[in-house]
Amino acid sequence: MLFVIDILEKKKTDSLFKTEKRLVSKLIEADSEANAEIKLNEYYTSLETEDINYEISINSITSTLQGSTTTQISGSLTLDGSLLNPGTVNLTHTDSPYTITSTEQFLLIDPSGGDVIVNMPDAATYPGREIRFKLTQAAGANTVTLQRQGADTIDGATTYTDLDIQYESISTVSNGSDGWFIF
């Protein structure tokens, strides 16, 4: 498991006992919360300095990242680098009708060869989920249709058919109960 650990570092800055405080977070892999704290203590011991005191607060615990469909982090998360997304899908009329799966969030649609129908997932199953759509080619006389699940709505309607211009894009966000909002 991965543990997000907040550390308040206190470093003595001069002989008048002034201290510099810095809050840092570390991501530590361990099989338990206690072992994560042990690893962190080993890290600070390896610095071989008497000038740093620290206080540990384990605020967030994540599930195993590999193979997990949901990772929940309480508090905030700061990324230094990129967040990679394996959920990009390229669609054409030959894939139609296409049903979005639980891991897909970027759909690149080429409607130039025919109509494309995309079935949205159930909004209640994915509260707050965002799915983005972008046309890679102009629709011409063809139609791209986002189709609801069950009684869900898409911006208050049963379908959405306004994607037709090359490079046009929209973002949809689940309201967590019975619909998708378009942004």
Assigned CATH topology for domain 2-61: Mth169; Chain: A , (3.30.1280)
pTM beyond 0.85: no
Burial class (CB in 10 A: 0-12, 13-18, 19+), 148: buried
pLDDT in tens, 124-143: 998 888 999 999 999 999 99
Lowest mean pLDDT among 41-45, 101-105, 144-148, 159-163: 41-45
In the chain, CATH 3.30.1280 sits at 2-61
Helices (H) and strands (E) in the chain, counts: 1, 13
Reported confidence tier of residue 61, pLDDT bands at 50, 70, 90? very low
Give the separation between CA 24 and CA 55, rounded to whole angstroms: 11
Percent of the chain whose pLDDT exceeds 90: 46
- Beta-bridge partners for 21: 10
What is the rounded average pLDDT of the residues 1-10?
A: 62
Digit-coded pLDDT (tens) for 94-120: 999 999 988 888 999 999 999 999 999
- The helix (H) or strand (E) run that includes residue 172 is strand 169-174
Residue ranges of the chain assigned to CATH 2.60.120.640: 88-182
DSSP string, 18-56: -EEEEEEEEEEE-SSHHHHHHHHHHHHHHT--SSEEEEE
- CATH fold of 88-182: Jelly Rolls (2.60.120)
Which pLDDT tens digit goes with each residue over 73-101? Answer: 666 666 555 555 667 899 999 999 999 98
